[in-house]
Chain A
């Protein structure tokens, strides 16, 4: 597949020449000087060179009057036999609900209050200044799209705060409509540059047209950087979610139609030493519903202000030119044959391109995501439950640090900080997860002894899920070599083709769990093998792959790291093969599989607490749909699923190594 070569090449290159910028703490200055003065500072941001300045309300009327929106209004009026005026009014309402109304006053208000709050919550907020400088140049040259990772509500507040601090144009941010449910706060966010999108509007043509045109108008005018989350929502597991394509394809369209010369996509990685919402997430994953966004909820949450959440690292990646990505790849002819204001379904080529770009951007986010020492501690701890000797933990953490760096992970280990102190400070910060008892580190499951069996399981699950949130941050860095390691164990043969087949099988099964660039299974395999060879864990010949003597430590560590996923998926598949006879909805599936796993945990037949996570359950189901083992049908009220029992059994057999992976061999291997 030639078209991928550009993407893949650049990935490989980045792998070998990884040089990252230095960090700067922006809170340091805040602790020294007046927040009020900072909030009232002279703010003359760097803006796009082709900007034609306009007010937020002017944008709305431009959008409403645009050919694009007017066209859809007329179409709908004709189809529904309504007067265009009524539909136009509807469009206006949509715009009013959606549109931001950025005001400098509100921005200053946020600058002041956020300074106070951030200083309270976080020890440091570290930013790569070179990235900010690159961003500054990019903003002037072409329209810019900011693509941060999404782990917390703090993400977008922090990013706007950052741009304000560096005198850059403040972004307009695509936010979920749920925020509007919060009194005052919703409006405040709106005035700080948030615009609101409904969670699903696939069927509503008017909404789609208005929304798309609103975003594109701001992009074309270079009004402000546009910010949204490729992942679509906050990742509850701290593991990057597979990308959503809707907004990305909207912001790419002006370039496809050549309404702009180029567009910069800027991947931004934001990592938290301790995630503000960590326990909320764990409850949510276990099926305790997420509290609705509400102002009173927010006020209640203020008690967290007394807590310490460590350091935030923000890495602003190299702006990626969309033009460069697209060069030689897309045929623009279809865009030339239809007036540009007509809504046009993207061709398959374009869709594939959008998806490739989305994955590339997420991979770039992952690459620059800072990993704290605690992440390593969590990974070691989870493999050594219920308790691990403190000294051993330190030793293993240091060992894992080396391995992570060899695999290209971006560890921020404070200079001269001895391992013991680093581990200790992690434990202090995360005392709600783990603690030191008699020279051993154990999970913090206070109060677990008393209570019913069910409660014990639940509490244990909570703390394990919280802990795994941190280990998860390593997974996308480790996934390629680890799947090779797992494949080696599954295959029980050293023949390269067979190992590759197993690898490929695992990669397909986990396609929604981890981030893989589409269609390059072989490259991923080779990369995994390369990394394992680099750390002397395996040796390869033309036909064979086998672990070295001293490599078995690495190989078993890597497979243990992913064991909970293998076991979790097996449990979920077993549930589907045993318990489901008829078609079911997602609403039935999640509680069903949860109680299935719960019972097994109570009986003690499994230790895989992570299989309780609704995130894993959904991902497993999605993978089965993609593999054709589960059929997904659209119903009036959501989707319905039906299981192909034979296919599920086959997959289970492969997992249990009862049958080898049946797959046409890769000819190029």
Chain B
């Protein structure tokens, strides 16, 4: 229900109650979007109002399988809308197809197992009837992982894990919880919090994405500096494969029993089986939370500061996040009180005039501290002290919180843009510290150059932020959008530019992906990324576990 709209006064408004921005009016947003993209509210595209059932490819389902399936009492559907809904993730081209056309191939049937045993039965049936299973969790993939291979002739079963969403047990002594893999991130945190716990895993997509999906893609959360990424959080995984069930015999913090089989599962992107149950670490809810933000005169200084913070305050600062300030300003809710706005104005004045900051290249770090009150305050001071050394200026809790919310709502901006001939997307990478600045500059320049060459008439919007810090490097996000009026095949142009940008990333020593995964979108670079032998290793695992390619979504390899 949440989305951006332009209200009758022509001001942007964010609807829905999901976020604290909900119902707020964003007075400067329209101006920003018009200025940045050359977009105009008069030029609006119309998306199709609803799904036309006749466009949907007819399901290929064999009657014998249906009989067997009915006997299991597992609920299923062949309804067109259910099938189309599970035919895609959230890549730009997928959304575009949804708005303007139809996928060539979609699942033939959707099944809703409610427990591990149901999954076992479905996989057995699939093996028996030689079907293709594509597991579906939250549907937030941005790697074309959910797209059905066009040439797949077998019945495609979309295995929707959403009904497997219970917390099976909580072990307070060992601080672990066993959870069914279909649970959505937000529900998991909510339910755990009722017992006073949390996992601390907060990917940007946590309101939609599922535990099983996190495992299958090697997800990363914003609070990983305290709680760790998914590979640090997982204690035990149960996965159903065509060969049978794979799991460990105990729930221990670490074991030395050859290569960790969890690492075959994490990042397997649905090519080996279905993750059904996961035992995950939990932590008591933090006593105290505090947001904060720092403004830097430029991106270079900011990155240098982050690097220093990562060196000195490692595993303490919860989250550091980067945005260009005007972006923040664009989303700043209209303030009710004249007094607050006065203070804000003063601050802005201070920032831009006294310190000689140029607001156009200004850079903001938003912070979130968690833990016991004393520690938080101590770390906060430590971080601000470091920031000062790098020319940073504390910019208040409000800005920090706003930046934090922004992470969640950025995705909605794309939908708004699509209505006004603006297409955009974000992509990420991880990169060693010493290459962060060069990579950011070169990728942005490459994007601008490619846009020009491809005939994009308006200067593209491209910006980047550092979203995660590690000892050895950082995760960098790029946001890139352009106004596509006058271009006949914008998606193709977009994809070519994204491809060029990815090549630039790789040439600059960045990774193929930090946490989005490979899917089908980035497959072509796998060999380059992990070497021939590496690819062979993964292939042989696939061949052993799933010789008949039941899990045939064609991701990764």
Contacts and interface: CB of A to CB of B under 8 A. Distances in A.
Interface of A: 258-259, 261, 332-333, 335-336, 339-340
A50 to B, nearest CB: 8
Nearest to B439: A258
A261 B442 contact: yes
A258 B434 contact: no
Contacts of B438: 258-259
A336 B445 contact: no
Given A333-B528, A340-B434, A340-B435, A261 B507 contact: no
Contact of B435 (A258, A261, A333): A258
A259 B441 CA distance: 9
Interface string B515-557: 0000000000000100000000000000000000000000000
Contact of A335 (B442, B446, B509): B509
Nearest to A337: B509
Contacts of B186: none
6 contacts: A258-B507, A261-B445, A261-B446, A333-B528, A339-B434, A340-B435
A336 B442 contact: no
Given A258-B509, A340-B435, 8 more contacts: A258-B438, A258-B442, A258-B507, A261-B441, A261-B445, A332-B507, A335-B509, A340-B434
Interface in B399-446: 434-435, 438-439, 441-442, 445-446
B508 interface: yes
B486 to A, nearest CB: 26
Count chain B CB atoms within 10 A of each CB in A259, A261, A333, A340 and give the residue with the most. A261
Contacts of B434: 339-340
B533 to A, nearest CB: 15
A327 to B, nearest CB: 9
Contacts of A258: 435, 438-439, 442, 507-509
A47 to B, nearest CB: 18
A217 B528 CA distance: 31
A464 B439 CA distance: 57
A448 to B, nearest CB: 64
A339 B473 CA distance: 13
Nearest to A332: B507
B541 to A, nearest CB: 24
B251 to A, nearest CB: 37
B356 to A, nearest CB: 16
A324 to B, nearest CB: 11
Contacts of B508: 258
Nearest to A335: B509
A335 B435 CA distance: 12
Interface of B is mostly: helix
Nearest to B441: A261
A259 B445 CA distance: 13
B511 to A, nearest CB: 10
Q: Which of B438, B442, B507, B508 has the most CB of A within 10 A?
A: B507
A259 B507 CA distance: 11
Interface of B: 434-435, 438-439, 441-442, 445-446, 506-509, 528
- List the 9 closest pairs (A to B, CB-CB), nearest first: A336-B509, A258-B508, A261-B445, A332-B507, A261-B442, A258-B438, A259-B438, A258-B442, A258-B507
A335 B438 CA distance: 14
B13 to A, nearest CB: 39
Contacts of A339: 434
Contacts of B441: 261
A339 B445 CA distance: 23
Nearest to B509: A336
A656 B441 CA distance: 61
A444 to B, nearest CB: 57
Contacts of B442: 258, 261
Q: Which of A258, A259, A335 has its CB near the most chain B CB atoms (within 10 A)?
A: A258
A336 B435 CA distance: 10
A455 to B, nearest CB: 64
Contacts of B445: 261
Nearest to A328: B503
B513 to A, nearest CB: 16
A216 to B, nearest CB: 13
A219 to B, nearest CB: 14
Contacts of B528: 333
Contacts of A332: 506-507
B360 to A, nearest CB: 15
A224 B446 CA distance: 23
A293 B293 CA distance: 63
B330 to A, nearest CB: 26
Contacts of A259: 438
Contacts of B507: 258, 332
A336 B508 CA distance: 7
Contacts of A340: 434-435
A4 to B, nearest CB: 21
A335 B509 CA distance: 8
Contacts of A261: 441-442, 445-446
A258 B434 CA distance: 12
Nearest to A259: B438
Nearest to B531: A333
A493 B249 CA distance: 84
Contacts of A336: 509
A629 to B, nearest CB: 41
A332 B508 CA distance: 8
Nearest to A336: B509
Contacts of A335: 509
A261 B444 CA distance: 10
A336 B528 CA distance: 12
Nearest to B508: A258
Contacts of B509: 258, 335-336
A191 B387 CA distance: 40
A340 B441 CA distance: 17
A258 to B, nearest CB: 4
A332 B504 CA distance: 11
Nearest to A326: B507
B439 to A, nearest CB: 7
Nearest to B511: A336
Contacts of B446: 261
B96 to A, nearest CB: 29
A333 B442 CA distance: 17
Nearest to B432: A339
A332 B445 CA distance: 19
Contacts of B439: 258
A261 B501 CA distance: 13
A259 B435 CA distance: 8
A259 B442 CA distance: 9
A367 to B, nearest CB: 27
A340 B437 CA distance: 14
A71 to B, nearest CB: 13
A386 B114 CA distance: 105
Nearest to B528: A333
A32 B438 CA distance: 49
Scoring A332, A333, A336 by chain B CB atoms within 10 A of each residue's CB, the highest score goes to: A336
A327 B1 CA distance: 46
A605 B188 CA distance: 101
B414 to A, nearest CB: 27
